[in-house]
């Protein structure tokens, strides 16, 4: 009996190690079968077969020639774009482009969906053509670690093509510079000796195809160009001000059936909440938490760190899935949050009692439900699903962020409670969709 039990344990550990190795090395041979967000299927988009024989030898000579002319600028670009999964650097690139013309959560969700769908299409093509990477040989060097996946098409180029096409659509005034910069990314992979030039071209073209599909079938139909037609109450006792954006309540959800699917119940009378808030005594610790969550964005650093800690730096499909699920969840929780805010227009503490001083300037939006609490609860649940071994850490951070808004004096406790409830409900809907996308199935 002991021998049988030992054999079972060893077999389970071996299978777990095999699965972990597949994930860690980014092989993911089944990623081409995962469910896309907008594309009808991963085989919808076609690229020609890769060159073979003498044409491939010619490409090898081209790589060798290019590597002879490497300079410090090209080396710096190479290492910048190869630091992490292909989708990693595009998060910061989107940050740098943000302006008043676009709602930032719309930008991140469209960007990451385009990257994700393009990555799945690339993985389908990779295992269809199964082309080997350039071999390190006389004159050809691998200047970064070559991925243990087929070479054609290039994963960094498909990401660049999808990301740049989407960002150029969203920020047309900067389109030329975005697309020009994106084409350098594929070249960096050739210079690194891990892709053929034809890998790069096919990848970029594929990424453009997918992004254009997402633009036509989602971006142009998501309501981002429509203005909210409601009115801010003029009566006493309601929030007064100019909302940050008027278009958010009109935006089409990705997963929710409607923006009001989880509409918050009416808030309680504010008098009792105000008394509780005024009785709270601030401390150095509470002030630290309040400033931390007002002026920093810890979740972004946490996501990048967890991708590293869980061995996903070389796993383009799974990293893209993480960024996409979180971007979509953030978009959903905020349009759902604003929907309830614009129904109740609950007054903020310093508007209800002008003698009360918050720790810093109150955000320009109604108070109920609390936006930070909605985000916190949503991120806590999403990250606990994606990285279950770290769930306790995420839930504690969500509680801390939520509490910080009460401690800062910009929200009543009941604002936070409603926000937490809403964030969890939204996250659970996204998680339902995630569990059905095929990525959790180990074959």
Specify if 14 maps to a domain.
Answer: no
Average pLDDT (416-426) is 98
Q: Is 368 helix (H, G, I), strand (E, B) or coil?
A: coil
The tens digit of pLDDT for each residue in 160-201 reads 999 999 999 999 999 999 999 999 999 999 999 999 999 999
Domain match, 148 and 93 both: yes
The tens digit of pLDDT for each residue in 257-296 reads 999 999 999 999 999 999 999 999 999 999 999 999 999 9
Specify if 329 maps to a domain.
Answer: yes
For position 175, what pLDDT does the model report? Answer: 96
Distance (Å, rounded) from C-alpha 292 to C-alpha 335?
Answer: 24
- Does residue 433 register a pLDDT over 90? yes
Domain match, 403 and 275 both: yes
Distance (Å, rounded) from C-alpha 396 to C-alpha 381?
Answer: 11
Classify burial at 367, counting beta carbons within 10 Å of its beta carbon; exposed 0-12, middle 13-18, buried 19 or more.
buried
Q: Would you place residue 23 in the very low, low, confident or very high pLDDT band (cuts 50, 70, 90)? A: low
Mean pLDDT for all residues in the chain: 91
Show which of 221, 238, 267 is a domain's final residue. 221
For position 225, what pLDDT does the model report? Answer: 76
Domain match, 214 and 258 both: no
What's the CATH code of the domain at 151? 1.10.606.20
For position 20, what pLDDT does the model report? Answer: 45
pLDDT more than 90, % of the chain: 81
Domain that holds residue 316: 248-435
Stated as kind and residue range, the H or E segment containing 409 is none
Domain match, 155 and 274 both: no
Tell me the CA end-to-end span of the chain in Å, nearest whole number: 29
Q: What total of structural domains would you count in the chain? A: 2
Domain match, 278 and 414 both: yes
**pTM, full prediction:** 0.92
What secondary structure letter does DSSP report for 241? S
Q: Would you place residue 19 in the very low, low, confident or very high pLDDT band (cuts 50, 70, 90)? A: very low
Buried b (16+ CB within 10 A) or exposed e, 403-415: bbbbbbbbbbbbb
For position 247, what pLDDT does the model report? Answer: 63
Domain match, 256 and 325 both: yes
Distance (Å, rounded) from C-alpha 84 to C-alpha 87?
Answer: 8
Q: Would you place residue 299 in the very low, low, confident or very high pLDDT band (cuts 50, 70, 90)? A: very high
Q: Give the rounded distance of the alpha carbon of 159 from its chain centre.
A: 13
For position 21, what pLDDT does the model report? Answer: 46
Q: Return the minimum-mean-pLDDT range out of 34-43, 197-206, 379-388, 396-405.
A: 34-43
Distance (Å, rounded) from C-alpha 183 to C-alpha 284?
Answer: 49
Domain match, 261 and 198 both: no
Domain match, 111 and 190 both: yes
pLDDT more than 70, % of the chain: 92
- Does residue 439 register a pLDDT over 60? yes
Q: Return the minimum-mean-pLDDT range out of 31-45, 137-151, 244-258.
A: 244-258
């Amino acid at each position: 009996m002991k021998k049988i039990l030992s054999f079972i344990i060893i077999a389970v550990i071996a299978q777990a190690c095999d699965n972990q190795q597949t994930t860690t090395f980014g092989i993911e041979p089944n990623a081409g079968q995962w469910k896309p967000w907008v594309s009808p299927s991963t085989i919808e988009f076609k690229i020609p077969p890769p060159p073979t024989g003498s044409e491939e030898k010619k490409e090898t000579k081209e790589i060798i020639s290019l590597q002879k002319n490497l300079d410090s600028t090209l080396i710096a670009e190479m290492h910048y774009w190869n630091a992490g999964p292909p989708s990693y650097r595009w998060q910061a690139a989107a940050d740098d482009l943000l302006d008043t013309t676009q709602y930032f959560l719309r930008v991140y969700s469209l960007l990451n969906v385009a990257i994700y769908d393009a990555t799945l299409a690339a993985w389908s093509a990779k295992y269809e053509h199964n082309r080997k990477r350039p071999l390190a040989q006389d004159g050809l060097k691998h200047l970064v670690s070559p991925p243990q996946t087929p070479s054609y098409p290039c994963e960094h180029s498909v990401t660049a093509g999808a990301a740049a096409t989407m960002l150029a659509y969203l920020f047309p005034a900067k389109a030329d510079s975005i697309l020009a910069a994106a084409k350098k990314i594929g070249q960096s992979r050739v210079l690194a000796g891990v892709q053929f030039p034809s890998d790069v071209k096919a990848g970029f073209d594929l990424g453009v195809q997918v992004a254009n599909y997402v633009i036509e079938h989602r971006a142009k139909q998501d309501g981002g160009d429509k203005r909210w037609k409601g009115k801010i109450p003029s009566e006493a006792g309601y929030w007064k001000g100019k909302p940050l954006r008027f278009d958010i309540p009109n935006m089409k959800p990705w997963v929710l059936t409607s923006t009001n699917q989880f509409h918050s119940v009416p808030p309680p009378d504010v008098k009792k909440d105000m008394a509780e808030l005024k009785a709270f005594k601030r401390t150095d610790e509470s002030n630290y938490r309040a400033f931390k969550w007002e002026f920093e964005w810890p979740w972004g650093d946490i996501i990048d760190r967890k991708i590293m800690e869980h061995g996903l730096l070389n796993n383009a499909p799974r990293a893209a899935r993480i960024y996409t699920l979180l971007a979509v969840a953030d978009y959903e929780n905020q349009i759902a949050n604003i929907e309830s805010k614009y129904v109740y227009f609950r007054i903020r503490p310093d508007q209800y009692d002008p003698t009360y001083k918050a720790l810093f300037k109150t955000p320009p939006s109604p108070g109920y439900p609390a936006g930070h609490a909605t985000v916190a609860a949503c991120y806590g649940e999403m990250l606990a699903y994606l990285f279950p071994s770290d769930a306790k850490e995420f839930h504690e951070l969500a509680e801390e962020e939520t509490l910080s808004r009460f401690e800062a004096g910009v929200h009543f406790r009941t604002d936070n409670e409603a926000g937490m409830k809403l964030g969890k409900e939204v996250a659970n809907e996204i998680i339902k969709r995630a569990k059905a996308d095929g990525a959790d199935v180990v074959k």
